[in-house]
């Protein structure tokens, strides 16, 4: 098999899974700003960063972060794609 085809297939899968995670994050917190990136750092395949509104409680932030991490873990188990998810302080944006 042509290595470029394999790379293209993996990139297409990464795009699909990043979109899936971004949409999932928006479901969890519709008022959050959510950004997905396929830029690779070290062993990461991509990342999703969520900036929740300041009014979101710490407990809700934790709930959202754990749900995102669980979905990212499922994707890793199914595809081998390592997508880091983080819930960040909106002031850091």
The per-residue pLDDT for 67 is: 97
The per-residue pLDDT for 60 is: 93
pLDDT, averaged per 10 consecutive residues of the chain (93 residues), comes to 69 96 97 94 94 93 95 97 93 76
Contacts of 12 (CB under 8 A, 6+ apart): none
What 8-state DSSP symbol labels residue 55? T
Element (H, E) at 48: strand 46-51
Domain count, the chain: 1
Q: What is the CATH number of the domain that holds 70?
A: 3.30.70
What is the residue range of 30's domain? 3-92
Residues in the chain: 93
The per-residue pLDDT for 86 is: 94
């Amino acid at each position: 098999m042509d290595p470029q085809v394999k790379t293209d297939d993996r990139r297409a899968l990464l795009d699909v899974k990043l979109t899936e995670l971004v949409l999932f994050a928006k479901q969890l917190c519709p008022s959050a700003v959510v950004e997905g990136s396929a830029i690779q750092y070290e062993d990461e395949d991509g990342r999703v960063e969520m900036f929740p509104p300041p009014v979101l409680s710490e407990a809700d932030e934790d709930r959202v972060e754990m749900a995102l991490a669980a979905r990212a873990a499922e994707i890793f188990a199914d595809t081998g794609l390592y997508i880091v998810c983080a819930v960040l302080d909106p002031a850091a944006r």
